[in-house]
A = this chain, B = another copy of it.
Amino acid sequence: MSTNPRGPVSRRERPAKPALSREGIVATAVAVMRAEGLEKVTMRRLAQELDTGAASLYVYVANMAELHAAVLDQLLGEVELEPSGETWRDRLAGVLASYTDVLLQHPALARAAISVRPAGENYLHLVERILALLLEGGASRVQAAWGVDLLLQLATASAAEHSTRLQSGSSEAEWDALTHTVREAPGETYPNLHALAGELLSGSPQARFDWFFGVLVTGILRTPSDPRSS
């Protein structure tokens, strides 16, 4: 009869329930999201996964929004900050494409990312990197600072918009409906819409991303900030 120096053996059924912690909760949230999507990341589901009650989680996270922000920051760790590329422009395009990719893999998160400010480490690293590349490209201090905002906002919005199209069951039908609406727009009421229907619906996502990126970079470098405000 060997004795366990660490005390009596009790509840041998499962490994001792690990203590709750903010990191544990966020890690579980990320795992559930990867497996089943952000929709399934609910307080009740997380609690079940951690073998406790939903109310217990509120000791470590203030609410759902804060949890979403933490999950998002965690995901941002996957963004490629040092992509290959000859010029600063290619590297900047690479970082943004990687950011967009990460969001596209998690449709619901892309939507959440628009209203959520992740103030975590990974978000800061991303901002830092984009600032560096813009400065390398010759942007002024204000151009770089405001430019980051503009670039991230657009990348996020594009991912959110695209991701809804991808996931929602009705994606195909909805796209058809939009196509139909544009193509059938009467030329008397909507002359330009009618004339440019082809262009409005043209372009692969890649081609559009490239053009959008070009527009922003060109604009950022050529547009001085309002002299009255600097």
Residues from chain B with Cβ under 8 Å of A199 in the complex: 141-142, 144-146
Residues from chain B with Cβ under 8 Å of A215 in the complex: 147, 150, 216, 219-220, 223
Complex CA gap A193/B212 in Å reads: 25
A208 to nearest B CB, angstroms?
A: 6
Residues from chain B with Cβ under 8 Å of A177 in the complex: 119
Complex CA gap A202/B199 in Å reads: 38
Within 8 A of B (CB), among A157-206: 157-158, 160-161, 163-164, 168, 174, 177-178, 181, 185, 189-193, 196, 199-200, 202-204
Complex CA gap A225/B207 in Å reads: 8
Interface centre among A163, A196, A208, A210, by most B CB within 10 Å? Answer: A196
Within 8 A of B (CB), among A211-229: 211-212, 214-220, 222-223, 225-226, 229
Residue A2 CB within 8 A of the other chain = no
Cβ contact within 8 Å between A142 and B229: no
Tell me the nearest residue of chain B to A207, going by C-beta: B229
Cβ contact within 8 Å between A150 and B212: yes
The contact sample of 15 A-B pairs, CB cut-off 8 A, is: A111-B111, A111-B115, A119-B178, A124-B185, A128-B189, A128-B190, A131-B192, A145-B200, A146-B208, A146-B212, A153-B157, A153-B161, A156-B157, A218-B218, A218-B222
